[in-house]
């Protein structure tokens, strides 16, 4: 064999060995057809795998979306009104001569001791009264100035009748004919004490109607003790005269002091308002969310005087057990009340009293059980001003509508 033939034979042998080495059948540690089977399965189930993964993610995401974006409360609050409520907690003694004149117009139940059976006892040494009682007494005193003249005319008329009945020479008014009906017409309890009026009526009945104790004349008619009747009428006349004199004295003093009494009452009213009044705030709460919530019983009212100058008023919800729950999609009117001003710091008392009804305005802040805080709109710090703002807006819209109609 020549050299060319030998080289060709060797070359063909190498090529054959190379193809044999690269054959899949000759690769070590590999199972024929296994990898291709797995890849085929993955490719076949690719859509199902993707759907399973997306489903798992969605299942986890939906509750989070519901909790934080869909099924949550969405509360807003709006101030409807604010009222400054006067209190009667503090009582006032009649320390000045002018105020002491009001005692005549104060009910006896406030001037005397009464036992458990309601029987009146001794007069109180240092009676004290609420400002509302004093205001009512003052109103009665002003009315009394107008009435005293008319009352004295009636008293003089009753006194004239008494003189006519006890006058033996008056044939028109016979003492024997004076009975309890005559006495009752005078309504003595309007002018003298009830006990005295009752006493006179009881005594007259005993004199004129106690037939078992009366002597009788020959004709069988009861003999009245006319001397006793005359004496009783004289006593009644004296009491009425005393009332008339007292009325004239009181009328003169009232006319002279009515202005001083009025100024003292106004000062007492202001002192009471500055110390013992409290605030009632009405808000409208809206829950536009899809979950219920519950407001806490406390709220804060911040009265803004100017930039950086404010007073805080703590509020408590009225009827908390019924009003705190705010259902999904619900609207509720809720009322809050403050403590009396006397419990506030002195500085806050001064600011509130000075700026109530002026240029100040206020917000209300509330909180629910999830610690979410809600801020109201701001309105003037006076209900009258707030109402005026609302009416002005309504009048403006009404005027616009009128122009369009024309």
Q: Are residues 165 and 287 in the same domain?
A: no
Domain boundary among 231, 246, 273: 273
Q: Determine the number of helices (DSSP H) and then strands (DSSP E) in the chain.
A: 11, 13
Q: Is residue 78 exposed (0-12), middle (13-18) or buried (19+ Cβ within 10 Å)?
A: middle
Q: Does pLDDT of 3 surpass 50?
A: no
Report the percent of the chain where pLDDT is more than 70: 78
The model's pLDDT over 298-312, given as tens digits with 9 standing for 90+, comes to: 999 999 998 889 999
Report the residue count for the chain.
406
Per-residue pLDDT at 149: 85
Whether residues 100 and 55 share a domain: the answer is: no
Rounded mean pLDDT of 147-162? 90
Asked if 110 and 130 sit in the same domain, the reply is yes
Residue 297, phi then psi, degrees to nearest 5: -75, -15
Supply the pLDDT for residue 384: 76
Q: Are residues 103 and 162 in the same domain?
A: yes
Say whether both 97 and 240 belong to one domain: yes
Q: Does 4 map to a domain?
A: no
The pLDDT of residue 7 is: 44
Residues 212 and 358 in one domain: no
113, pLDDT greater than 90: no
Closest CA to 129 of 161, 155, 95: 95
Same domain as 360, residue 292: yes
Nearest to 284 by CA among 270, 295, 273: 295
- Put simply, whether the predicted model's pTM sits higher than 0.85 gets the answer no
Sort 118 into a burial class: Cβ within 10 Å, 0-12 / 13-18 / 19+.
exposed
Number of domains in the chain: 3
Q: Answer whether residue 41 is part of any domain.
A: yes
Is the distance from CB of 258 to CB of 141 less than 8 angstroms? Answer: yes
Q: Is residue 14 part of a domain?
A: no
Which H or E run includes 397? helix 383-405
pLDDT bracket for residue 373 (50, 70, 90): very high
- In 3D space, the residue among 277, 312, 286 whose CA is nearest the CA of residue 298 turns out to be 312
The predicted model gives 48-70 an average pLDDT of: 56
CATH number for the domain spanning 318: value is: 2.60.40
282 with 384, same domain?
yes
Q: Which domain holds residue 338?
A: 76-85+277-405
- Residue showing tokens 């024309």: 406
Using the predicted structure, report yes or no on whether residue 241 has a pLDDT greater than 90. Answer: yes
Task: Examine the domain organization and report whether 317 and 395 are in the same domain.
Answer: yes
Q: Pick from 258, 273, 288: which residue ends a domain? A: 273
Q: Is residue 111 part of a domain?
A: yes
Task: Examine the domain organization and report whether 195 and 295 are in the same domain.
Answer: no
CA distance 121 to 113: 5
Of 164-173, 178-187, 322-331, which range is least confident?
Answer: 164-173
Question: Which comes out higher in pLDDT, residue 125 or 54?
Answer: 125
Q: Are 313 and 355 in contact (CB under 8 A)?
A: no
* Greater pLDDT, 43 or 250: 250
265 with 355, same domain? no
When comparing pLDDT for 154 and 72, which is higher? 154
More confidently predicted of 258 and 389: 258
Please indicate, yes or no, whether residues 239 and 351 belong to a single structural domain of this protein.
no
List Cβ neighbours of 20 (8 Å cut-off, separation of 6 or more): 26
Averaged pLDDT score across all residues of the chain: 82
pLDDT digits (tens, 9 = 90+) for 131-148: 889 999 999 999 988 888
Q: Across residues 347-359, what is the average pLDDT?
A: 90
């Amino acid at each position: 064999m020549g050299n060319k033939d030998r080289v060709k034979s060797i070359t063909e042998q190498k090529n054959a060995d190379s193809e044999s080495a690269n054959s899949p059948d000759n690769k070590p540690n590999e199972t024929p057809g296994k990898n291709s089977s797995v890849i085929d399965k993955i490719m076949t189930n690719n859509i199902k795998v993707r759907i399973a993964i997306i489903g798992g993610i969605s299942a986890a995401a939906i509750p989070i979306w519901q909790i934080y974006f869909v099924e949550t409360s969405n509360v807003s609050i709006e101030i409807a009104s604010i009222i400054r409520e006067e209190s009667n907690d503090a009582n006032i003694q009649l320390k000045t001569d002018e105020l002491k004149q009001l005692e005549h117009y104060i009910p006896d139940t406030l001037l005397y001791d009464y036992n458990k059976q309601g029987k009146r006892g001794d007069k109180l040494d240092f009676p004290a009264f609420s400002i509302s009682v004093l205001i009512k007494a003052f109103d009665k005193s002003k009315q009394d100035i107008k009435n005293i003249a008319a009352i004295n005319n009636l008293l003089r008329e009753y006194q004239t009748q008494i003189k006519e009945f006890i006058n033996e020479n008056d044939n028109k008014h016979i003492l024997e004919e004076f009975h309890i009906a005559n006495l009752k017409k005078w309504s003595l309890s309007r002018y003298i004490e009830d006990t005295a009026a009752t006493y006179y009526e009881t005594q007259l009945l005993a004199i004129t109607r106690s037939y078992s104790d009366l002597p009788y004349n020959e004709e069988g008619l009861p003999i009245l003790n006319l001397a006793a009747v005359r004496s009783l009428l004289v006593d009644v006349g004296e009491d009425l005269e005393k009332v008339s004199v007292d009325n004239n004295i009181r009328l003169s003093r009232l006319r002279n002091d009515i202005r001083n009494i009025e100024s003292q009452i106004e000062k007492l009213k202001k002192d009471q308002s500055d110390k013992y009044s409290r605030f009632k705030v009405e808000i409208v709460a809206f829950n536009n969310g899809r979950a219920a919530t519950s407001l806490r019983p406390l709220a804060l009212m911040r009265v803004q005087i100017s930039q950086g100058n404010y007073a805080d008023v703590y509020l408590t919800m009225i009827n908390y057990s019924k009003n705190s729950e705010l259902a999904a999609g619900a609207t509720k009117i809720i009322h809050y009340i403050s403590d009396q001003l006397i419990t506030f710091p002195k500085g806050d008392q001064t600011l509130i009293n000075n700026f109530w009804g002026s240029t100040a305005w206020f917000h209300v802040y509330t909180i629910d059980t999830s610690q979410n805080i809600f801020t109201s709109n701001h309105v003037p710090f006076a209900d009258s001003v707030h109402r005026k703002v609302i009416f002005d807006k309504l009048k403006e819209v009404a005027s616009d509508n009128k122009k369009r109609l024309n």
